[in-house]
A and B are shown apart, each in its own frame.
Chain A
Amino acid sequence: MTLKISDLSYEERVQEGIENDFMRQAVASAQGRFRSGRETRAEEIGNWEDWRALGEEIRRHTLNNLDYYLEQLSDEVSKRGGHVFFAEKAEDANAYIQDIVKKKKAKKVVKSKSMVTEEIGLNQALEEVGADVVESDLGEWILQLDDDPPSHIVTPALHKNKEQIRETFAKKRGYTKSEKPEELALFAREQLREEFLSCDIGITGCNFAVAESGAITFVTNEGNARMVTTIPDTQITVMGMERIVPTWEELDILVSLLTRAAVGQKITSYVTAITGTRLAGETDGPEEFHLVIVDNGRSKILGTEFQSTLHCIRCAACINVCPVYRHIGGHAYNSIYPGPIGAVLSPLLDGYESHQELPYASTLCGACTEVCPVKIPLHELLILHRKKMVEEEKMSPKLEQLAMKGYAKWASNAAAYKMGAALARPALKPWIRQETIKKGPGPLKEWTVNRDFPAPAKETFRAWFKKRNKEAPHHDEDL
Chain B
Amino acid sequence: MKVSLFITCMCDIFSPHVGKHTVELLERFGCEVDFPSQQTCCGQPAFNSGYLTESKVAMKQMMRAFKDAEYVVGPSGSCVGMIREYPKIFAHDPEWREEAEKLASKSYEITQFLVNVLGVKDVGSTFEGKVTYHPSCHMTRILGVKNEPITLLKHIKGIELKELPIKEDCCGFGGTFAVKNSVISSEMASEKSEHVSETEAEYLVGGDMACLMNIGGRMQREGKKVKTLHITEILNHRE
Chain A residue numbers with a CB within 8 Å of B190 are: 450
A410 touching B170 in the complex, CB below 8 Å, given contacts A327-B184, A404-B51, A462-B35: no
For the complex, what is the distance from the CA of A453 to the CA of B142, rounded to whole Å?
Answer: 26
Contact residue among A367, A383, A407, A460 (Cβ-Cβ distance under 8 Å from B137): A367
For the complex, what is the distance from the CA of A410 to the CA of B46, rounded to whole Å?
Answer: 12
For the complex, what is the distance from the CA of A196 to the CA of B186, rounded to whole Å?
Answer: 48
A412 touching B40 in the complex, CB below 8 Å, given contacts A450-B221, A460-B12: yes
Determine if A417 and B41 form an interchain contact, defined as CB atoms under 8 angstroms apart.
yes
Determine if B214 and A451 form an interchain contact, defined as CB atoms under 8 angstroms apart.
yes
Determine if A390 and B40 form an interchain contact, defined as CB atoms under 8 angstroms apart.
no
Stretch at the interface among B100-108, B113-121, B147-155, B172-180: B172-180
Determine if B170 and A367 form an interchain contact, defined as CB atoms under 8 angstroms apart.
yes
Contact residue among B16, B168, B221 (Cβ-Cβ distance under 8 Å from A459): B16
- Cβ-closest chain B residue relative to A449: B182
Query: Does A472 reach chain B (CB closer than 8 Å)?
Result: no
Determine if B217 and A15 form an interchain contact, defined as CB atoms under 8 angstroms apart.
no
Determine if A387 and B50 form an interchain contact, defined as CB atoms under 8 angstroms apart.
yes
The DSSP consensus for interface residues of chain A is: helix
Determine if B141 and A413 form an interchain contact, defined as CB atoms under 8 angstroms apart.
no
Determine if B213 and A453 form an interchain contact, defined as CB atoms under 8 angstroms apart.
yes
Determine if B184 and A328 form an interchain contact, defined as CB atoms under 8 angstroms apart.
yes
Determine if A410 and B40 form an interchain contact, defined as CB atoms under 8 angstroms apart.
yes
**Interface size bucket, B side?**
35 or more
A391 touching B52 in the complex, CB below 8 Å, given contacts A411-B61, A461-B20: yes
Determine if B217 and A446 form an interchain contact, defined as CB atoms under 8 angstroms apart.
no
Determine if B58 and A364 form an interchain contact, defined as CB atoms under 8 angstroms apart.
no
A465 touching B40 in the complex, CB below 8 Å, given contacts A450-B189, A450-B218, A456-B13: no
Q: How far is the CB of A405 from chain B (nearest CB, A)?
A: 7
For the complex, what is the distance from the CA of A359 to the CA of B172, rounded to whole Å?
Answer: 15
Query: Does A471 reach chain B (CB closer than 8 Å)?
Result: no
How many residue pairs at the A-B interface have CB separations less than 8 Å?
Answer: 206
Contact residue among A328, A387, A389, A450 (Cβ-Cβ distance under 8 Å from B182): A450
For the complex, what is the distance from the CA of A469 to the CA of B60, rounded to whole Å?
Answer: 27
Which residues of B from 169 to 212 have beta carbons under 8 Å from A?
169-170, 172-191
Determine if A366 and B141 form an interchain contact, defined as CB atoms under 8 angstroms apart.
yes
Determine if B45 and A447 form an interchain contact, defined as CB atoms under 8 angstroms apart.
no
For the complex, what is the distance from the CA of A391 to the CA of B5, rounded to whole Å?
Answer: 33
Determine if A465 and B19 form an interchain contact, defined as CB atoms under 8 angstroms apart.
yes
Query: Does B68 reach chain A (CB closer than 8 Å)?
Result: no
Query: Does B79 reach chain A (CB closer than 8 Å)?
Result: no
Which residues of B from 48 to 102 have beta carbons under 8 Å from A?
48-55, 57-58, 60-61, 65
- Cβ-closest chain B residue relative to A465: B35
Determine if A367 and B37 form an interchain contact, defined as CB atoms under 8 angstroms apart.
no
Chain B residue numbers with a CB within 8 Å of A391 are: 50-53
Determine if B37 and A412 form an interchain contact, defined as CB atoms under 8 angstroms apart.
no
Query: Does A184 reach chain B (CB closer than 8 Å)?
Result: no
Determine if A404 and B54 form an interchain contact, defined as CB atoms under 8 angstroms apart.
yes
Chain A residue numbers with a CB within 8 Å of B14 are: 454, 456-457
Q: How far is the CB of A471 from chain B (nearest CB, A)?
A: 14
Query: Does A198 reach chain B (CB closer than 8 Å)?
Result: no
Chain A residue numbers with a CB within 8 Å of B5 are: 465
A457 touching B15 in the complex, CB below 8 Å, given contacts A361-B181, A367-B141: yes
- Cβ-closest chain A residue relative to B38: A414
Q: Select the residue from A364, A370, A388 with max chain B CB neighbours within 10 A.
A: A364
Chain B residue numbers with a CB within 8 Å of A363 are: 137, 170, 172-175, 177, 185, 188
Query: Does B39 reach chain A (CB closer than 8 Å)?
Result: yes
Which residues of B from 7 to 33 have beta carbons under 8 Å from A?
7, 9, 11-17, 19-20, 23
For the complex, what is the distance from the CA of A390 to the CA of B51, rounded to whole Å?
Answer: 7
Determine if B16 and A407 form an interchain contact, defined as CB atoms under 8 angstroms apart.
no
Q: How far is the CB of B235 from chain A (nearest CB, A)?
A: 17
A366 touching B142 in the complex, CB below 8 Å, given contacts A383-B50, A421-B9: yes
Determine if B184 and A324 form an interchain contact, defined as CB atoms under 8 angstroms apart.
yes
Chain B residue numbers with a CB within 8 Å of A18 are: 183-184, 187
Query: Does A365 reach chain B (CB closer than 8 Å)?
Result: yes
> Could you write out 18 A-B pairs with CB less than 8 Å apart?
A327-B187, A327-B191, A363-B172, A363-B177, A366-B141, A387-B51, A390-B52, A404-B46, A408-B58, A412-B57, A421-B13, A446-B178, A446-B180, A450-B182, A451-B186, A451-B214, A452-B220, A460-B12
Which residues of B pack against A, CB within 8 Å?
5, 7, 9, 11-17, 19-20, 23, 35, 37-41, 43, 45-55, 57-58, 60-61, 65, 137-138, 141-142, 166, 168-170, 172-191, 213-214, 216-218, 220-221
Given contacts A364-B48, A391-B52, A454-B213, 17 further A-B pairs with CB under 8 A are: A323-B188, A324-B181, A327-B187, A361-B184, A362-B177, A363-B172, A363-B173, A387-B51, A404-B51, A407-B45, A408-B51, A411-B43, A446-B182, A447-B182, A450-B182, A464-B20, A479-B16
